[in-house]
Amino acid sequence: MFSHLFKLIWNKKGAHSLLIIEIWASFMVLFGVLSLIVYNVRNYLKPIGFEYENVWNMDLANNQDTVEVSSKLNRALQRVKAYPEVESVSRMSSNTPFSANQIGNSVTYNKVTVGADFYYTDSEFSRTMDLPMLKGRWYREGDRVAKFVPIVINKAMEAKLFQDEAAIGKVIKVDDKTSFKVIGVVDKFKAKGEFMTDGPALFQLIAQDDGWNSNLLIKTKPGTDANFEAKLVRDMAVMLPGWGIEISYLKESLKNRHNLTLVPVLIFLIVSGFLLTNVALGLFGILNLNISKRKGEIGLRRAMGATEGRVTTQFLGEIWVLATFSMILGLLFAVQFPLMNVFDLDREVYIIAIFAAILVIYLIVTLCAWFPSKQAARIHPAVALHEE
């Protein structure tokens, strides 16, 4: 049956070449859009790993003031902590959650090098962000006196850097002067929002005299409003004359990050949705015409005793063979993506996208062929043969 259908299609390959190109192109477009969607959905399904609901980010810029920046920062921190509306405060580097900033670096252990996001935070960070520990503990002020710089890593980092070994207690030599010691592992920290991949991350304790990392993350008590914010900014401006002070809510920043991801996906989705509707309508029209042209053949088959079901299956089978043929062509291109690891995406993303695209194409061609072939099968043999 299958080889027969294949022969039928092959004999008319000239007439079908445009159809094949069309299905091939639809497959490629679908593959592209679905890869994007699968990538984002897979990321979205993994939890973000921390709480951001009532957390504000205060961005301090010392501008022209370069005297004793670190001690001023620490005094500002103590001051903010003293407000009754504030639950906890923590210093952090500029790559605060949901900001556009990123600090990337690599560490090497036992000849395995892993690139990771570096976050410079203080001892209060895990409390401010409700970042639960998987193993070990968060660093404390007391760790400053230890010989090694205390760090906390996430699970993705542990798996990549230490493979099967336990990470806690391991010492990583960075250069001749500094060594990191892993004292804790957290589960996830997706600082760029839900759509970020859960990649390796590393938290390092901010040095006492650090004047660079000047963001304060402030966890407020529920119900705190803009009046307190205005008061906070005014007090800070008095305390730090000449400094720039900007407060943003993490909740709002997250919304911005979402839009940055969702708007392009939405545009692609709309455009490819229109394209596929276009193709489906066109396919429907062509198949309608082609099948109605083969009335004589259908009449003959029906007269020879073929059931309606068998005639329908024949036409559906033909379009399936055609679609399969086009998709084999498409797969030649598509499999390059997982094989060559294009754009550094997970292989699974492409593989899921390929299967989803195949499924959607079969669905579309079946829908488009169903109605015309059903109609053709219903033709009365006598009428069809008489017309001939």
Residues 6+ apart with CB under 8 A from 165: none
- Cβ atoms of 158 and 167 closer than 8 Å: yes
d(CA 153, CA 136): 10
H or E stretch covering 180: strand 179-186
Measured torsion, CA atoms of residues 270, 274, 276, 277, in degrees rounded to the nearest 10: 130
> Closest Cα partner for 240 from 55, 66, 91?
66
Give 9 or 183: the residue with its C-beta nearer to another protein.
9
> Please, what is the minimum distance in Å from the beta carbon of residue 225 to another protein?
7
Give 79 or 144: the residue with its C-beta nearer to another protein.
79
Q: HSE, CB side, 13 Å, CA atoms: give it for residue 74.
A: 10
Q: 139-148: string of b/e by CB count within 10 Å (b at 16+)?
A: beeebeeeeb
Give 284 or 320: the residue with its C-beta nearer to another protein.
284
> Please, what is the minimum distance in Å from the beta carbon of residue 331 to another protein?
16
Residues that bind another protein (CB under 8 A): 18-19, 21-22, 25-26, 28-29, 32, 59, 61, 63-64, 225-227, 229-230, 233-234, 237-238, 242-248, 271, 274-275, 277-279, 281-282, 284-286, 289-290
> Please, what is the minimum distance in Å from the beta carbon of residue 37 to another protein?
16
Strand partners, 215: 59, 92
> Please, what is the minimum distance in Å from the beta carbon of residue 65 to another protein?
10
Give 154 or 253: the residue with its C-beta nearer to another protein.
253
Residues 6+ apart with CB under 8 A from 178: 149
Q: Specify the 3-state DSSP secondary structure of 159.
A: helix
> Please, what is the minimum distance in Å from the beta carbon of residue 70 to another protein?
19
> Please, what is the minimum distance in Å from the beta carbon of residue 368 to another protein?
11
Cα-based angle 199, 201, 202 (whole degrees, multiple of 5) = 165
Give 165 or 388: the residue with its C-beta nearer to another protein.
388
Give 28 or 385: the residue with its C-beta nearer to another protein.
28
d(CA 284, CA 367): 8
Give 100 or 303: the residue with its C-beta nearer to another protein.
100
d(CA 150, CA 141): 10
Q: Which ranges in 177-307 belong to alpha helices (H)?
A: 226-239, 250-293, 295-303
d(CA 95, CA 252): 16
> Please, what is the minimum distance in Å from the beta carbon of residue 164 to another protein?
33
> Please, what is the minimum distance in Å from the beta carbon of residue 247 to another protein?
6
Query: Would you give the end-to-end CA distance of the chain in angstroms?
Result: 27
Cα-based angle 43, 46, 48 (whole degrees, multiple of 5) = 100
Give 30 or 183: the residue with its C-beta nearer to another protein.
30
Q: Specify the 3-state DSSP secondary structure of 184.
A: strand
Give 145 or 226: the residue with its C-beta nearer to another protein.
226
> Please, what is the minimum distance in Å from the beta carbon of residue 243 to another protein?
8
Q: Which two tokens stand for residue 4?
A: 């027969």
d(CA 158, CA 166): 8
> Please, what is the minimum distance in Å from the beta carbon of residue 296 to another protein?
12
Give 61 or 112: the residue with its C-beta nearer to another protein.
61
